[in-house]
């Protein structure tokens, strides 16, 4: 598990993008998948997490999937009837799974994306 805690300030979004990009490269993900993951994390942080004093990005890698947790967040509006591109709709177009989970009494957003099996994985030489 990788855990990165950042100040709730827009200036630190590039740090989160860098971590996700570096990990994606290490996992040999496609450019498109890396870009989608970076945009999903940036959207979750920018639109849902930056109202907090600090926000944490946790990344877990399994052989067949990558899971990203961002929190605590302000939950996105669940009104799917709106034609606007809400954060939840955008996230849903970037990753396979988007859900709000509760941790320590606060809402977090969980993003999950399948990854193709390949030779490079964390801990592999």
Q: What percent of the chain has pLDDT over 90?
A: 58
Cα radius of gyration (the chain): 14
At 110, which helix (H) or strand (E)?
Answer: strand 106-114
Domain residue ranges in the chain: 2-114
CA quadruple 31, 87, 3, 55: dihedral, nearest 10: 140
Question: Whole-prediction pTM value?
Answer: 0.82
Average pLDDT for 37-48:
90
Q: What is the pLDDT of residues 84-125, one digit of tens each?
A: 557 778 888 889 999 999 998 999 999 999 987 554 445 544
> Under a CB-based contact definition with an 8 Å cutoff, are residues 93 and 61 in contact?
no
Question: What's the topology of domain 2-114?
Answer: Heat Shock Protein 90 (3.30.565)
């Amino acid at each position: 598990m990788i855990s990165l805690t950042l100040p709730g300030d827009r200036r630190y979004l590039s740090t989160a993008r860098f971590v996700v990009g570096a990990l994606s490269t290490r996992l040999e993900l496609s450019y498109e998948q890396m870009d989608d993951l970076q945009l999903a994390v940036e959207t979750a942080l920018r639109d849902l997490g930056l109202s907090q004093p600090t926000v944490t990005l946790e990344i877990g890698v399994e052989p067949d999937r990558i899971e990203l947790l961002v929190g605590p967040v302000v939950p996105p509006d669940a009104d799917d009837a709106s034609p606007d591109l809400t954060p939840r709709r955008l996230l849903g177009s970037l990753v396979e799974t988007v859900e709000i989970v509760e941790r320590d009494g606060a809402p977090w957003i969980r993003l999950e994306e399948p990854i193709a099996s390949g030779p490079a994985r964390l801990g592999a030489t």
